[in-house]
Structure 1
Amino acid sequence: MRLRRQMRTRDLGDADPVHISSLSEHLGFATEADVQRLIKKTFLRNSGSGIDLTHTFNGTFRRLKWDGLALTVDTRFGDPRYFLHPEDNRGFSFREAARIQGFPDSFKFVGSKTDKFRLIGNAVPPPVACSLATAIKEQLLDER
């Protein structure tokens, strides 16, 4: 896991696949046979020219920027392990996530905190829904 964070090949995400030769060098012994056994047991996977852990989310500790583009709001947006507020060391509130999605502050969400993040993360953003509905309406009116 340490190598996945030290040997960067991409600009985004928290970890990258590693080459078997790098793993062997880091550990000080040949790892090819061990890696192949772990791939067969589905703990590791081939990823391009390297190997990577399976069942991982490559978005841990992503801090948003005030003047940057927002990341996709998903159901984990309130979890500080995945997304961090631009200046505070915390995750987002459900209301902040809803604002990023384009929900008005007057919109009421019901249920637990988890339920609210699930609703927001799975929703089509209201501005997108409005644009889509307008385009469909115009197309239907043109067909008359």
Structure 2
Amino acid sequence: MAMFASVASAQTRPFLQFQHTGWTIQNGAPSSITRLAQTTDGYLWLSTVNGLFRFDGVSFEEYRPPHGQQLAHTGITSLYATSDGGLWLGYTLGDTGFLKNGVLTLQSFKGHVQGHAGTVNYVYVTHDGTTWAAVEV
């Protein structure tokens, strides 16, 4: 998997005139990226089957919750950045988490669905603040 960023102007130019940078596993980019989201602080967050990573424009860092907190699972299948600086996480095993100001809150759908809740494929927050999750059961 490779990531690319481009800076373009309003004018049409040949592709070779664009400024672009690519990041690969050799540059520290994680493998098996499932989703991308950018929070209001400028970080680009990457969900993977092996955890959560953030990118500051220069380097990649695996996210490790503060002491006493933990990710529900390493398999993260969806991300949604909120306008107030938070980040929703959807997991492969039916849980969600919300990360804001260094605090990670976990929520589970297992009590709401018969048996295994399934993979949280998408999380979305509406304009009125209602949070929706598309779960594959």
- Calculate the TM-score normalised by the size of structure 1: 0.25
**Larger gyration radius, structure 1 or structure 2:** 1
Which structure carries more helix by proportion? 1
Which structure carries more strand by proportion? 2
